[in-house]
Amino acid sequence: MKLHQLLADIDIKTPMQSDIGDIPVHEVTDNSADVKEGYVFVAIGGYSSDGHDFIEASIQQGASLIIGEKDIDNLPVPYIQVPNSRKVLGMLARKLYSEPAKEKLIIGITGTNGKTTTSYMLKHLLESSGKSCSVIGTIENIINGEKIPSRNTTPSSLILHKLLAMSTDEVVIMEVSSHGLSQCRIEGVTFDYCLFTNLHQEHLDYHGSMENYFQAKKLLFEKLAPGGTAVVNTDNPWGEKLADHLQHEEKNVYRIGASVSSNLRIADINLQNSTATVEERGESSAVFTPMNGIHNMYNMIMAFGTAALIGVSKENLLPALFQFKGVEGRFEIYKLANGAAVIVDYAHTPDAVAHCLATAKQQGAGRIVHVFGFRGDRDPGKRQEIMSVTASMSNQYILTLDDLNSVSFSEMETTLTWLNNTYGNEKGRIIPDRTKAIQTAIEESQPEDWIIITGKGHEQYQQSYKLPARSDKEIVQYLSSPENV
Ligand SMILES: CC(=O)N[C@H]1[C@@H](OP(=O)(O)OP(=O)(O)OC[C@H]2O[C@@H](n3ccc(=O)[nH]c3=O)[C@H](O)[C@@H]2O)O[C@H](CO)[C@@H](O)[C@@H]1O[C@H](C)C(=O)N[C@@H](C)C(=O)N[C@H](CCC(=O)O)C(=O)O
Ligand SMILES: Nc1ncnc2c1ncn2[C@@H]1O[C@H](COP(=O)(O)OP(=O)(O)OP(=O)(O)O)[C@@H](O)[C@H]1O
């Protein structure tokens, strides 16, 4: 592709030299380490480093053109200054990969909790009706049935367009995080369906306020294709606000909720047998979820409603619901030999923890023992609320380590002690080694106990611990095997 084709429609701050339009461009990158002969290097001012500092290195490696935001003179290769390099990266990637989203049905799912679960539920329902689906999200990316590790919930725009170009699936279901939205990672993609699950306290270290966080989530809905539909859980107040706003903008909005004005009305939920009745234009349908909890029922109803909008008949959906296998690290249940249950769950927001503990109670937990920690460098504002939730809803809790990130062990230990003394109660204790904390909970368990381990879900441990396991699931399996009991 020639440079002038690549840059058409792109907002450029300074006039482009007239003689560079014919430069051929084969690849673009924002990482100097990836630059090869003839690449375009896009310099991005990041959170831990500044791509503009790597312009010289990228030229030495063969970059033939640099795009950036800063005033820069006298480079040995042409330089194009733009107002927003992150946005330009997405626009270039879209062109270089020949608009890979164009022929597919693209579905974006945003919200604080439930994106991953809803994605897998929707994938399952669509695949059961014969549609092939890619998934781009937190656990992994699944493209043409192949699993590809994911670093971010929403990848950089460059990776995103590469994944879209690789996919030969008919549908792409994508989790869209608020970080991804505010960092223009979905630039160049338009969506046929945008789903909003809910909004609760999270990421306030990054967004500053709930209103800003909401505004970031709202950006997804600006990417709805003409004729596309927003599917919104209006039982969440932020969802109601979003639906009203989108309707005011004359977008297609499909409301899901208990209100009689909902397009898909949730008439009844029975948590004992995990069923719900939903109604649309006077017609009732049954919904079932094999995953416990009202939160998972909402996720399933969102997936069900979306699959029906896409054209799968509601009658065909019901048998498929019974076949759903659940999602790794989301309310995964293990039974111990003594009858106690162990749950591994990815809850890491106050709302998610509350749902998880409440679900254990609804399912008949005699005593709840909650094992959890707090991630270093991540939204300290939510810790107090999580402590209060666990202090009131569990019978005992053990504070332990989660990923430390850049925080030292001793600093985290001090934080845990302070949190326990300030917001906990006499039900709590601290066992820093996560594997030992889980071992203690299991060894002390009684037959009616439910041990709820939250925070890591499907993820591998970042720290090394005493017992030989790399994840919550592995340690539970290790400790439940007869030779280690
Ligand atoms: C704080 C944050 O969000 N950072 C994201 C951001 O990184 P950044 O652009 O600031 O990168 P940076 O390291 O400062 O580098 C700046 C630029 O210099 C370039 N560089 C850097 C070094 C070098 O030698 N050469 C070079 O060219 C880099 O390639 C980059 O273009 O953009 C990157 C590409 O899109 C992301 O991978 C990265 O996510 C980091 C890893 C991260 O942990 N982000 C979390 C907070 C996040 O985004 N989470 C959400 C999910 C949240 C949820 O659970 O709900 C997600 O979508 O994953
Ligand atoms: N609809 C929901 N409402 C509240 N909590 C939920 C909901 N769905 C899931 N959860 C809780 O949140 C946890 C994470 O769920 P899931 O991975 O589906 O959400 P997510 O939005 O993808 O999260 P993340 O952005 O952190 O990856 C679950 O383990 C569960 O505890």
Which ligand number lies closest to the CA of residue 182?
1
Distance CA 110, CA 115 (A): 6
Is the ipTM above a cut-off of 0.90? yes
pLDDT interval class at 203 (50, 70, 90): confident
Identify the residue with better confidence: 426 or 268. 268
Beta strand pairing call for 105-110 and 79-81: unpaired
DSSP bridge pairs for 335: 341
Please state the rounded mean pLDDT for residues 296-315.
96
Are the beta carbons of 327 and 293 closer than 8 angstroms? no
Please state the rounded mean pLDDT for residues 124-138.
97
- The pLDDT of residue 210 is 95
- The pLDDT of residue 16 is 67
Which ligand number lies closest to the CA of residue 354?
2
Distance CA 474, CA 467 (A): 10
DSSP bridge pairs for 283: 280
- The pLDDT of residue 26 is 84
Sequence length of the chain is: 485
Q: Which CATH architecture has domain 105-321?
A: 3-Layer(aba) Sandwich (3.40)
- The pLDDT of residue 7 is 83
- The pLDDT of residue 465 is 97
- The pLDDT of residue 461 is 97
R_g over Cα of the chain: 24
Task: Tell me how far CA of residue 93 lies from CA of 45, 49, 381, in angstroms.
Answer: 18, 22, 36
| One-character DSSP codes across 435-466 | HHHHHHHHHT--TTEEEEEES-TTPPPSS--S
* Best probe residue, ligand 1, of 183, 202, 406 (max atoms within 8 Å of C-beta): 183
Nearest residue to 191 (alpha-carbon basis) of 229, 158, 156: 229
- The pLDDT of residue 15 is 67
Nearest residue to 331 (alpha-carbon basis) of 350, 308, 359, 303: 359
Which ligand number lies closest to the CA of residue 459?
2
Identify the residue with better confidence: 201 or 119. 119
State the distance between the two ends of the chain, measured CA to CA, in whole angstroms. Answer: 63
Angle at 206 between CA 242 and CA 53, to 5 degrees: 125
Residues 413-454: tens digit of each pLDDT: 999 999 999 998 889 999 999 999 999 999 999 999 999 999
Are the beta carbons of 407 and 375 closer than 8 angstroms? no
| 3-class secondary structure, 74 | coil
- The pLDDT of residue 3 is 83
When the pLDDT of each residue in the chain is averaged and rounded to a whole number, the result is 94
Residues 24-64: tens digit of each pLDDT: 888 999 999 999 999 999 999 999 999 999 999 999 999 99
Q: Tell me, what amino acid is at 235?
A: D
Q: Does domain 3-94 have CATH number 3.40.50.150?
A: no
| 3-class secondary structure, 378 | coil
Lining ligand 2 with CB less than 6 A are 111, 113-117, 138, 153, 175, 177, 197-198, 295, 298-299, 330, 345-347, 351-352, 355-356, 457
- The pLDDT of residue 8 is 80
CATH number of the domain located at residue range(s) 332-484 in this protein: 3.90.190.20
Distance CA 279, CA 260 (A): 9
- The pLDDT of residue 484 is 59
Task: Tell me how far CA of residue 82 lies from CA of 7, 8, 86, 120, 387, in angstroms.
Answer: 11, 13, 10, 38, 45
- Number of Cβ atoms within 10 Å of the Cβ of 209: 9
Token pair for residue 450? 């439910």
Lining ligand 1 with CB less than 6 A are 30-33, 44, 46-49, 51, 54, 151-154, 156, 177, 179-180, 183, 185
**Is the pLDDT assigned to residue 118 strictly greater than 90?**
yes
Residues 212-263: tens digit of each pLDDT: 999 999 999 999 999 999 999 999 999 999 999 999 999 999 999 999 999 9
- The pLDDT of residue 482 is 64
Residue 32 assigned as binding residue: yes
Q: Which of 116-130, 195-209, 291-305 has the lowest mean pLDDT?
A: 195-209
* Best probe residue, ligand 1, of 40, 44, 186 (max atoms within 8 Å of C-beta): 44
- The pLDDT of residue 425 is 82
Are the beta carbons of 117 and 303 closer than 8 angstroms? no
Q: Identify the residue whose tokens are 């979306």.
A: 306
Domain limits, the chain? 3-94, 105-321, 332-484
Please state the rounded mean pLDDT for residues 331-339.
95
pLDDT interval class at 264 (50, 70, 90): very high
Q: What are phi and psi of 96, to 5 degrees?
A: -60, -35
